Amino acid sequence: MRWALADVTRRLPEIIDATQTSPQEVDLGEGKGVLVLSLRPPKPKTQPRSLADVLMDSPLWGFDLGDDLRDKSLPREVDL
7-61 residue pLDDT tens = 777 777 776 676 665 545 555 666 666 656 555 665 665 666 677 666 666 555 4
- Can you give the pLDDT at residue 48? 65
Q: Which of 74, 78, 80, 56 lies closest to 66 in space, CA to CA?
A: 56
- Based on C-alpha coordinates, what's the Rg of the chain? 13
For residues 33 and 1, the answer to whether their CB atoms sit within 8 Å is yes
- Can you give the pLDDT at residue 58? 59
Q: What is the pTM of this model?
A: 0.25
Kindly state the average pLDDT of the residues 62-69.
48
Residue 75: pLDDT above 50? yes
How many CB atoms within 10 Å of residue 24? 10
